Amino acid sequence: MDAMVDILPLRAALVGNPNCGKTALFNQLTGSRQKVANYAGVTVERKEGRLTTPGGRPVRLLDLPGAYSLTATSPDEAVTRDVCAGRYRGEAAPELLICVLSATNLRLHLRFALEVRQLGRPMVVVLNMVDAARQQGMVIDVPRLQQELGVPVVTAVAIRRNGATDLLDLLDHPPLTGPAPLEGNEDVHVTVRRLLADCVSRPSAASEAFEDRLDRWVLSPVWGLVILFALMFVMFQAVFSWAQPLMDAIDGGVSAFGEMVRHILPDGVLQSLIVDGVIAGAGTVVVFLPQILILFLWILVLEESGYLPRAAFLLDRIMAAAGLSGRSFIPLLSSFACAVPGIMATRTIQNPRDRLITILLAPLMTCSARLPVYTLLIAAFVPDRTVGGIFNLHGLVLFTLYMAAILSALAVAWVLKRGGKTAEHPLLLELPAYRLPNLRDLGLGLWQRAVIFLSRVGTIIVTLSVLLWALSSFPAPPAGATGPAIDYSLAGRIGHWMLPLFAPIGFNWQICVALIPGLAAREVAVSALATVYAVGGTETDAAAQLTPLLSAQWSLATALSLLAWYVFAPQCFSTLAVIRRETGGWKMVTITATYLFGLAYAASFVTWRLALAFGGGPS
Amino acid sequence: MIEVLIVSVLVVACGFYWLGRLAPSVTRRMWRGTGHVLEAVRAPAPMRQAVAGRANAAPGGGCGGCKGCDKGSGGCH
């Protein structure tokens, strides 16, 4: 029987306050690469991993969302509460609770540890970030803390290699029984104060001064906003300026590859499929990889540094004016990378109505999939020159598009909030310590984004390009036909059939065709346009020539109208699928799709008409 | 003729890939049917196992058929 117990994996769960380093510890122990960042609320679902201790004991480890208390106030905290209490459906209660505390914030985190302790389950306490605490001048008497808490206490630096060896050793011989109840009937706050007084030497005021001085600028209502806008502005300038040499290199490589394949394969249907379908389609999107990586580099640096929660704090007043709480900031900010994790991050919002409104707004944030569409059209229609001697006009237009999305989201929130009163939930936000971004984590984050982007190109975009090539090539024109062959194809017919609906907003039939596969993911529209123009035209290298081709064939009004469409249109199946999952039905999906498509059509119509009025129409 | 055959196979494979993403229950039924055929013709065991694996594959835990969050990478689709 004892042998059986040894073989069966130990079920352990990581619990703790948000941003105490649970996921970093989970990654360190299990070798996973779950997302970590220097702000609260990154993990909103339970994650599971496995590890083997140095003594050979298998452990099944759960990483739970951070919680301030076991009295849950939001859906993500409810997951932690239910798992700890053994009430989570399909999940037996953990045999060991690993309570992770940030050594730099013991006053808050010890309170949660005492609450977990009251459950009476076997537990250990991990003092994480002891290196940061040491840098701040804190001295923690670990044996004394262990004695006072009555549970094993170990230290860790979860982001450092081999930073959790003490915990691994402890998992070889974990406590089998829960701690005895604390003596007396002391209030938890009094207990925390006593523990801090007995076990922790506080840092001197001077060592805290630098962060405080920085926060005085960063959180200033005036200078803080100036810094925030300057950061965003430089970010979009960098997306265009830094990426250009790499994009030119990839573009050249794709063109050369297309030419090589064209010479190797004989003229015919297979050559057309590979060159006009796959290379023209996927090649045009691959070119945007450097821009996407630069955008993510900025986002990752801001995440790791601890700046983002400060930006949330700063924007709380502006968001409150639109009827949103500051808690919506992190989900909306995550949506700049992708709306899917952004919508999932709304689980940290307590108020159900606020949560629904944030879900409705998330698709309006400019996700990275829009970047190829924006960049293509900006490069084709906006002159490449500097403004005021330093600012790149392309970057300026991109910044404007992002701002347009943000302002639209605030306007929509304001309108939605007028529909009903909600209980006020003031923003209570934990500001993490500033941290220099870890180069290894940045590299890993960028590598993951590159892999995700390239696997999307290799699966979604290549397969859709092949299908679109088939639809654009067949059926062949009848004998004696005089028009372009693509007009007789299925795609051509679908495009012309859709045209009456989209002509009032300035779209041509090629755009109509590109919108259909573009429903799968926004960037597919770029590859679809490349394929349609490659099959329908005489160009030998549509992948490289799409930008000049569009500037020659489209009017400025059409390009602006399409940009306006992409600011609003919910062209992403995954986003709609996650809304269905998070809201548990199709009602919100229908509402989201209807209002966003309606908004997209109206914005494109107004843009098209205004552009025509100002002389941007076809010449 | 060979070119047409290769192109047809590629286009059908891409169509099947999208059918799997948009309607996974339909493709699972198709794989199950293929499995029965392979059993009947006594196809090699690895081939039958591969088809059985696809027929009984659990749907992705992520959204829109995405399996990004099932993997250790933590990547979202």
Of A448, A462, A577, the CB nearest to B75: A448
- The dihedral over CA atoms of A89, A93, A97, A100, expressed in degrees to the nearest 10, equals 0
Whether residue B66 lies inside any domain: the answer is no
Specify the pLDDT at position A510.
92
Task: Provide, rounded to the nearest whole percent, the portion of chain A with pLDDT above 70.
Answer: 93
CA distance A478 to A488: 8
Confidence class for position B72, pLDDT limits 50, 70, 90: very low
Whether residue B2 lies inside any domain: the answer is no
Chain B residues inside the 8 Å CB shell of A34: 72, 74
Distant-in-sequence, close-in-space partners of A530: CB < 8 Å, separation ≥ 6? A280, A281, A283, A284, A542, A543, A546
| Listed residue (A410, A415, A384) closest to A397, CA to CA | A384
- What secondary structure does DSSP assign to A388-436, as a single string? TTTEEHHHHHHHHHHHHHHHHHHHHHHHHHTTS-----------PPP-P
| Listed residue (A611, A488, A614, A482) closest to A558, CA to CA | A611
Q: Picking from A198-202, A291-295, A327-331, which range would have the lowest pLDDT averaged per residue?
A: A327-331
Give A580-612 pLDDT, tens digit per residue.
888 888 999 999 999 999 999 999 999 999 999
Q: Does B59 touch chain A (CB under 8 A)?
A: no
Calculate mean pLDDT across residues A333-338.
Answer: 84
Q: Does B23 touch chain A (CB under 8 A)?
A: no
Please answer whether residues A11 and A150 qualify as being in contact, where contact means their C-beta atoms are separated by less than 8 angstroms: no
Give A453-508 pLDDT, tens digit per residue.
888 888 889 999 999 999 999 898 888 888 788 888 999 999 999 999 999 999 99
Chain A residues inside the 8 Å CB shell of B6: 270
Calculate mean pLDDT across residues A68-97.
Answer: 84
Residue labelled with tokens 């004394």? A144
Specify the pLDDT at position B73.
43
Phi-psi region of A16 (alpha: psi -120 to 50; beta: other; left: phi over 0): left
First-to-last CA distance in chain A? 86
Specify the pLDDT at position B68.
52
Residue B14 to residue A467, Cβ atoms within 8 A: yes
Residue B77 to residue A456, Cβ atoms within 8 A: yes
Calculate mean pLDDT across residues A267-275.
Answer: 91
Residue B76 to residue A34, Cβ atoms within 8 A: no
A576–chain B nearest CA distance, Å = 8
pLDDT at B63 over 70: no
Specify the pLDDT at position B65.
46
Residue A33 to residue B73, Cβ atoms within 8 A: yes
Q: Picking from A38-52, A61-75, A83-97, B17-31, which range would have the lowest pLDDT averaged per residue?
A: A38-52
Whether residue B29 lies inside any domain: the answer is yes
Whether residue B72 lies inside any domain: the answer is no
A130–chain B nearest CA distance, Å = 26
**What interhelical angle do A244-264 and A542-553 show, nearest 10?**
110
Calculate mean pLDDT across residues B50-71.
Answer: 64
Residue A463 to residue B14, Cβ atoms within 8 A: yes
Specify the pLDDT at position A222.
92
Domain boundaries, chain A: 2-203, 227-613
A271–chain B nearest CA distance, Å = 9
pLDDT at B77 over 60: no
Of A32, A270, A456, the CB nearest to B6: A270
Chain A residues inside the 8 Å CB shell of B19: none
Chain A residues inside the 8 Å CB shell of B66: 340, 574
Interface residues of A toward B, Cβ cutoff 8 Å, are: 30-35, 45, 47, 49, 268-270, 273, 338, 340-341, 448, 451-452, 456, 459, 462-464, 466-467, 470, 573-574, 576-578, 581
pLDDT at A91 over 90: no
Calculate mean pLDDT across residues A245-269.
Answer: 91
Chain B residues inside the 8 Å CB shell of A589: none
Q: Does B9 touch chain A (CB under 8 A)?
A: no
Specify the pLDDT at position A425.
59
Residue A452 to residue B68, Cβ atoms within 8 A: yes
Give A426-449 pLDDT, tens digit per residue.
677 778 888 888 888 889 888 888
Of B3, B4, B18, the CB nearest to A463: B18
Q: Which residue of A has its CA nearest to B6?
A: A270
Specify the pLDDT at position A548.
87
- Of residues A534 and A5, the one with the higher pLDDT is A534
CB contacts < 8 A, A to B, total: 67
Chain A residues inside the 8 Å CB shell of B15: 467
Specify the pLDDT at position A30.
87
pLDDT at B35 over 60: yes
Q: Which residue of A has its CA nearest to B16?
A: A463
Q: Does B16 touch chain A (CB under 8 A)?
A: no
Calculate mean pLDDT across residues A146-174.
Answer: 90
Residue A463 to residue B17, Cβ atoms within 8 A: yes
B32–chain A nearest CA distance, Å = 24
Residue B76 to residue A452, Cβ atoms within 8 A: yes
- For the record, the structure tokens of A602 come out as 């109206």
Q: Which residue of B has its CA nearest to A453?
A: B77
Q: Picking from A271-275, A501-505, B20-24, which range would have the lowest pLDDT averaged per residue?
A: B20-24
Specify the pLDDT at position A38.
63
| Listed residue (A168, A174, A185) closest to A151, CA to CA | A174
Calculate mean pLDDT across residues A358-378.
Answer: 92
Residue B14 to residue A464, Cβ atoms within 8 A: yes
- Of residues A420 and B55, the one with the higher pLDDT is B55
Specify the pLDDT at position B75.
46
The burial of B3, by beta-carbon neighbours within 10 Å (0-12 exposed, 13-18 middle, 19 or more buried), is given as: middle
Residue A269 to residue B4, Cβ atoms within 8 A: yes
Please answer whether residues B74 and A588 qualify as being in contact, where contact means their C-beta atoms are separated by less than 8 angstroms: no
| Listed residue (A318, A317, A348) closest to A330, CA to CA | A348
Q: What angle do CA A17, A23, A28 make, to 5 degrees?
A: 135
Q: Which residue of A has its CA nearest to B68?
A: A452
Whether residue B65 lies inside any domain: the answer is no
Quick check: helix, strand or coil at residue A387?
Answer: strand
Superfamily of domain A2-203: P-loop containing nucleotide triphosphate hydrolases (3.40.50.300)
Calculate mean pLDDT across residues A522-528.
Answer: 89
Calculate mean pLDDT across residues A254-280.
Answer: 91
Chain A residues inside the 8 Å CB shell of B10: 273, 466
Residue B3 to residue A269, Cβ atoms within 8 A: yes
Domain that holds residue B45: 21-53
Specify the pLDDT at position A518.
87
Whether residue B77 lies inside any domain: the answer is no
Q: How many domains does chain B have?
A: 1
Of B3, B14, B68, the CB nearest to A268: B3
Q: Picking from A344-353, A471-480, A534-543, B10-19, which range would have the lowest pLDDT averaged per residue?
A: A534-543
Specify the pLDDT at position A539.
53
Of B10, B64, B75, the CB nearest to A452: B75
Long-range (24+ apart) CB contacts under 8 A made by A177-181 are A177/A122, A178/A119, A178/A120, A178/A121, A178/A122, A178/A123, A179/A117, A179/A120, A179/A123, A179/A149, A179/A150, A179/A151, A180/A150, A181/A118, A181/A120
Specify the pLDDT at position B64.
45
Mean pLDDT, chain A, rounded, equals 86
B31–chain A nearest CA distance, Å = 20
Of A32, A273, A456, the CB nearest to B72: A32
Please answer whether residues A70 and A1 qualify as being in contact, where contact means their C-beta atoms are separated by less than 8 angstroms: no
Hey, of A335, A516, A574, which one would you mutate to test binding to chain B, going by the most B CBs within 10 A of its CB?
A574
Whether residue B11 lies inside any domain: the answer is no
pLDDT at A164 over 80: yes
The dihedral built from the CA positions of residue A353, A22, A198 and A204, taken in this order, carries a sign that is negative
The burial of A479, by beta-carbon neighbours within 10 Å (0-12 exposed, 13-18 middle, 19 or more buried), is given as: exposed
